[in-house]
Structure 1
Amino acid sequence: MNIALIGYGKMGHEIEKIAISRGHNIVSIIDVNNPEDFESAAFKSADVAIEFSTPDSAINNYRRSFAANVPVVAGTTGWLDHMDEVKKACAEEGKTFFYASNYSLGVNIFFTLNRYLAKIMNNYPSYDIRMEETHHIHKLDAPSGTAITLAEGIIENVERKENWNLETEEKESDIAIHCIREGEVPGIHEIIYESEVDTISIKHDSKNRKGLALGAVLAAEFTNGKKGFLGMKDMLNF
């Protein structure tokens, strides 16, 4: 399979290594210094583009990929106010887009566990709910896309919670998400249920970027030849 990389930071390098090890060809690499390559024959020859860039550049990367008729596997978070535009392109223009807030298999198991625990805890209002997430100092968005997905999973299943809020719980119906940026931490997410008598928590701690990179390559393999808006639930069939 021919793969284009959009964004060539630490994740881009890790994805490149895994893609090559799985027999794929990297036909184009686009970073901040060569955006004109979206117009190149090499980029247009890609079966799929894997994109890990920045929140500010993401939506324009998707537009330019769609213009070149190259399907996208998107790993950037912090751009979701443009999601309706992307979904419309998939529904009305036949574009292909795979989005996940986190491509790690372990994190997606954690998403499922989070929703299951939330269904149980819906029946126990004596427990308040909060979250903590820690990432490296280079991460530009807060809270992380993974934290938002976790919060949405709780809100869908716990009737007493309606919104998430950064750092503070302004109302009882809010879930406070505390964000820490330090060192080179790949990602730690913890859900905490606390009452007057005890605490219940679940936690996922990423050791490195390899799980994310492998998941992105697997998503590219899954996306190849498909149309529409896709996600990890489609690929993993949880």
Structure 2
Amino acid sequence: MPGAGKSPWTGLGTRPDNCCRTPAMTDFFMPCCTKKIDSRLGWLALLIFWAGAVFADGINLEKAEARLTPDGYVLSANFEIKLPPQVEDALRHNVTLYFVSELSLHRTRWYWPDSDIFVQQKTSKLSFNSLTRQFRISSGGGLYQSFATLPEALHLLGRQSTPPIDTALLGHSGDGYFSRLVKKSSRVGAKASMRLDIDQLPKPLQINAMTNDQWSVSSAEFHWEIKTEAPAETGRP
């Protein structure tokens, strides 16, 4: 156990009988409360539980889109990111967090496994400068962008997109019978996901992250189908 006053981040480097009907939509019975205040507290606890379920920490996909531009299709996704307390605490103690986003196009066929058309995996770094008290984001080894508050930084971090994808990649070559059959029987789909990469955490934290649910910060992988003749296809979870 660490000594008194010692920071937990030291060593990580820079890194009754009666019953009544309840006012619920479902039809069931439960014992009446002896006092109205008890009933109110019960409903309040239920509301708090529900609010906690809705606003849970982690990464949630708000919107995903495939937009047709003059230069090709552009995939974009808006993620809502809420860091669990333990993860935010690590960030504020100079541990850099690495987030990996993936946006992709693939061809789906009932007779064969899906084939990738385009895949973009991008790593973004989120860090905290304890001297300036600012949060910083860097993607692809580029310049840092600084933010005064964590929500501002997480808002930008959650906005992910691709460069234009050539529409020719979505087509098929060849005019033979088999090529026409392939084109007719296949569809184009898109995927979007984002996660915190615990493999890039400092070694002492990696061990803790593997057994601690607070470090399991990721979105579900979202799939949607694209009609290639349409100007834009938007998906919502």
- Normalising by structure 2, we get a TM-score of 0.23
Look at both structures and tell me which one has the larger radius of gyration over its CA atoms: 2
Name the structure where strand makes up a greater proportion of residues.
2
Name the structure where helix makes up a greater proportion of residues.
1
- Normalising by structure 1, we get a TM-score of 0.23
